Structure 1
Amino acid sequence: MTNSGENSDQLVTVGRVTTVYGVRGWVKVHSYTEPMDNILQFPKWWLRGPKGWEALEIDAGKRHGKGLIVHVKGMDDRDLAAQLCQRDIAVARDLMPELGQGEYYWHQLEGLRVISRFNGGEHDFGVVARMMETGANDVLVVRGGDDKRERLIPYLPDQFIADIDLEAGVITVDWDPAF
């Protein structure tokens, strides 16, 4: 691993190292990608450390049970691998695959302003603080706005999500301000 001046704006968090696996330097990984093993398509990872992001090269990885295990190049010791645990994994933003029209990565939606045009009125709900997966559908966690509340808005385009304008930084929703 080498420490790098990689700018965090150029990185996208795609998972987390959770714990060691075995005695030969393998670690368990919780992937945020869908499907989960898509994270393995990136041979160069960045791991968040106390001094910033550190480069990490993966030389093997596979599904194991309900998760993933990976091996870091040149790391064959359990104690060394333990130093990687409970740290975020990121990849270079420009390596992310292109999406189709109307598709977005979560990191593109986080930080956008959310405006509701419910029943013809306009209400500022604040910004997307984060996204979460619920099983049925993804959910926007929106905080701030006119009433300083937190709202959970189902990410259902054409039902509650009326428009997403990345250039303007705005998501327009059809959501009752009382909820």
Structure 2
Amino acid sequence: MLITGKIIKSYGILGWLEIVSFTENKETIFKYSPLYIYINKKYEVIKIEKWKKNKKKILIKIFDITNRTKSQKFVKKNIFIKNSSLPKLGNNEYYWKDIIKCKIFNEENIYLGKINKIIDIKTYDILVIKTNKKQIKKKEILIPFIIKKYIKNVDLYKKKIIIKNYSHFV
């Protein structure tokens, strides 16, 4: 299961809930089906009756939830989808979930560190590398995730990424 959003709070008296979507385009979360929450030690499908945008907020109405009291059991719950729901990607396209924790090496096969997080700056993503302190003095280095220019090879099976132009980043 993959977290794709979170239910933040109840909204109004009719059982609506405010959510945060972790998908790149916030409304894309509704294209994945079914959506799940983890409740009572198991994943349960949430059946969304309707959803709407209210200013910058995304609101959902779940079937059979008709008032604020009933909606409270969903508050602060993560929203999940099955990994198998994700569309297949093309060449040189990767999901963040697959890139996080990959080990980073330079072209001389020297281990530099592990990807700790990824920052989206709209034009491209930035890999935040928690460094191998034996090789590098900095705690973190930032590497643009631009294939061919800075990224030489991505091997998701081995969880290994080889970068080019290493000297630009230290």
TM above 0.5, one fold? Answer: yes
The answer to whether 1:70 aligns with 2:57 is no
If you compute each CA radius of gyration, which structure gives the higher value, 1 or 2? Answer: 2
1:53-94 residue CA offsets vs partner (Å, 9 max, x unmatched): 443222222333223211222212213323322332210010
TM-score, normalization: structure 1? 0.78
Matched letter for residue 59 of structure 2: I
Gaps of 5+ in 1: 1-10
The answer to whether 1:108 aligns with 2:98 is yes
Give the match for residue 45 of structure 1.
35
TM-score, normalization: structure 2? 0.82
Give the match for residue 18 of structure 1.
8
Answer whether contact 1:124 1:146 (CA < 8 A) is retained.
no
Percent of residue pairs identical: 21
Q: How many residues align?
A: 166
Give the match for residue 120 of structure 2.
133
Matched letter for residue 125 of structure 1: L
Partner secondary structure for residue 74 of structure 2: coil
Q: Which of 11, 24, 35 is the matching residue for 2:25?
A: 35
Answer whether contact 1:115 1:170 (CA < 8 A) is retained.
yes
Answer whether contact 1:43 1:58 (CA < 8 A) is retained.
no
Q: Which of 107, 113, 130 is the matching residue for 1:143?
A: 130
Q: Which of 78, 85, 99 is the matching residue for 1:88?
A: 78
Matched letter for residue 56 of structure 1: I
Deviation at 1:16, TM superposition (A): 1.6
Q: Distance in 2 between matches of 1:107 and 1:135?
A: 18
Q: Distance in 1 between matches of 2:32 and 2:160?
A: 30
